């Protein structure tokens, strides 16, 4: 199979549900494989890491975007993502990122441990009550979704009663992160973006009238203090913070629990030694990454892994494949929480390195040992349903029984 066929297979519904075979077909063409005109698929760990840190390698700017998808300005979803820090290059990127970064310092995140633990314990009680009579319950609905939503909403100052609103809107919006998008998927993403933007327009107005001690107020004040954040950027970044803050972490909790339940001896060791949670979580991130890919373009010619990438090349950086690069990790398809250094690329690298990595790790490090200890009879029940999504890999539904 040539690299273009391997890539087509990755983009197919089967490839989106299980991308790992297609990654190996691509890897057979080298760590940086030419997969179409000006298109390169990167499966090597060292190469993806190097490219993400290279200042000549950038996210698409407005000019390029006009060239490849001129309709982006009329799409609430594409325009909103384009105005956020996620898809902006320096100097705009550094300016926006700095404003939000104050909320995510290691000290601030460590200070959230008690809040996360209390929310996780409460959700475990609800999960146990829902499954008390031995009925299967959906782990995604009862735990993997509400925990990260509750935490990011508390940071942003979103009222608790509004939290159930976001699941559908965010799932629809994140369709725009897929490398290929059908017109129906774009229409859903636009509908989700419109709802989220309407919601945050109202929250911004409320915080402007009555400031509170939250991240929304901090960003509103940065906007009002001068030209540090435009009105459009304010809205785009609030939406991205909310969506990036839970869609991904929800998938880490779902993918991670499924792996732990499939490896009972490893789960049992974590139950007995919760202090090993950081190593487990990093290996879970490596083994089945909640974010499988990101994209970049080359502003100048770049040579990497022995391959010359001309200026204007499109790069598909396959983080989930890099995490299983056998040159980096011996026996990469094995889940092994005792691995010396899982070093997942799941949070990216370089200037766009995930702002919420510390928070996501904290949530998972608290949640898994607590779940295993409080629900020692937790087991899978029935067949889980994967989302047909490549970029944000997760489950729609993950049925479990919690014991009597």
Interface residues with ligand HEM (CB under 6 A)? 85-86, 97, 152, 240-241, 244-245, 248-249, 252, 290-291, 294, 346-348, 352, 354-356, 359-360
Phi, psi of 137 (to 5 degrees): -125, 155
DSSP secondary structure string, 339-393?
A: -S-----TT--GGG--TTHHHHHHHHHHHHHHHHHH-TT-EE-S--EE-S-SSB-
Cβ-based nearer residue to ligand HEM, 29 or 45:
45
Cβ-based nearer residue to ligand HEM, 85 or 258:
85
Q: Can you say how many angstroms the Cα of residue 323 is from the centroid of all Cα atoms in its chain?
A: 15
Quote the least distance from Cβ 381 to ligand HEM, whole Å: 25
Cβ-based nearer residue to ligand HEM, 71 or 94:
94
Cβ-based nearer residue to ligand HEM, 75 or 289:
289
Quote the least distance from Cβ 206 to ligand HEM, whole Å: 21
User: Which contiguous run of DSSP H or E holds residue 35?
Assistant: strand 32-36
Cβ-based nearer residue to ligand HEM, 60 or 402:
60
Quote the least distance from Cβ 116 to ligand HEM, whole Å: 11
| 400 beta partners | 137, 380
Quote the least distance from Cβ 28 to ligand HEM, whole Å: 25
Quote the least distance from Cβ 367 to ligand HEM, whole Å: 12
CB 50 within 8 A of CB 306: no
CA 85 – CA 89 distance, rounded (Å): 8
Cβ-based nearer residue to ligand HEM, 190 or 288:
288
Cβ-based nearer residue to ligand HEM, 337 or 356:
356
Determine the residue with CB nearest ligand HEM: 356
Q: How many CB atoms lie within 10 A of CB 118?
A: 12
| 401 beta partners | 379
Quote the least distance from Cβ 364 to ligand HEM, whole Å: 7
Q: How many CB atoms lie within 10 A of CB 339?
A: 18
Cβ-based nearer residue to ligand HEM, 248 or 297:
248
Strands 293-298 and 57-58: antiparallel
Quote the least distance from Cβ 359 to ligand HEM, whole Å: 4
Angle value at C-alpha 10, between 240 and 355, nearest 5 degrees: 25
Enumerate residues 6+ apart whose C-beta is below 8 A from 43.
23, 26, 27, 31, 33, 318, 321, 322, 325
3-state helix, strand, coil in the chain (%, to 5): 60, 10, 30
Quote the least distance from Cβ 376 to ligand HEM, whole Å: 25
């Amino acid at each position: 199979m040539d690299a273009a066929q391997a890539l087509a297979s990755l983009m197919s519904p089967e490839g989106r549900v299980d991308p790992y075979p297609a990654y190996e077909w691509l890897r057979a063409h080298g760590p940086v494989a030419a997969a179409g005109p000006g298109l390169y698929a990167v499966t090597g760990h060292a190469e993806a890491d190097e490219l993400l840190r290279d200042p000549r390698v950038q996210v698409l700017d407005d000019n390029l975007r006009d060239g490849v998808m001129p309709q982006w300005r009329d799409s609430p979803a594409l325009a909103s993502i384009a105005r956020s820090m996620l898809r902006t290059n320096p100097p705009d990127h550094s300016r926006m990122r700095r404003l939000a970064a104050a909320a995510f310092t290691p000290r601030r995140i460590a200070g959230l441990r008690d809040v996360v633990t209390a929310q996780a314990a409460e959700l475990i009680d609800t999960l146990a009550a829902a499954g008390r009579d031995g009925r299967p319950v959906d782990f995604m609905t009862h735990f993997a979704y509400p925990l990260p939503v509750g935490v990011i909403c508390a940071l942003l100052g979103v009222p608790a009663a509004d939290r159930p609103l976001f699941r559908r809107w965010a799932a629809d919006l994140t369709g725009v992160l897929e490398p290929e998008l059908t017109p129906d998927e774009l229409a859903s993403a636009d509908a989700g973006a419109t709802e989220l933007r309407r919601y945050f327009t109202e929250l911004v107005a409320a915080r402007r009238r009555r400031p509170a001690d939250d991240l929304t107020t901090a960003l509103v004040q940065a906007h009002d203090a001068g030209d540090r954040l435009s009105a459009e950027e304010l809205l785009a970044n609030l939406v991205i913070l909310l969506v990036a803050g839970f869609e991904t972490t929800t998938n880490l909790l779902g993918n991670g629990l499924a792996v732990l339940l499939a490896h009972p001896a490893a789960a049992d060791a974590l139950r007995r030694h919760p202090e090993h949670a950081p190593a487990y979580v990093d290996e879970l991130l490596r083994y089945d990454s909640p974010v499988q890919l990101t994209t970049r373009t080359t502003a100048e010619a770049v040579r990497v892994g022995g391959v010359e990438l001309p200026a204007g090349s499109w790069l598909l950086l396959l983080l989930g494949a890099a995490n299983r690069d056998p040159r980096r990790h011996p026996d990469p398809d094995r889940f092994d929480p005792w691995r010396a250094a899982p070093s997942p690329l799941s949070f990216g690298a370089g200037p766009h390195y995930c702002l919420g990595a510390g928070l996501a790790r904290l949530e998972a490090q608290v949640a898994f040992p607590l779940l295993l200890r409080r629900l020692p009879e937790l087991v899978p029940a029935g067949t889980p349903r994967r989302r047909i999504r490549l970029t944000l890999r997760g489950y729609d539904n993950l049925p479990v029984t919690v014991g009597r």
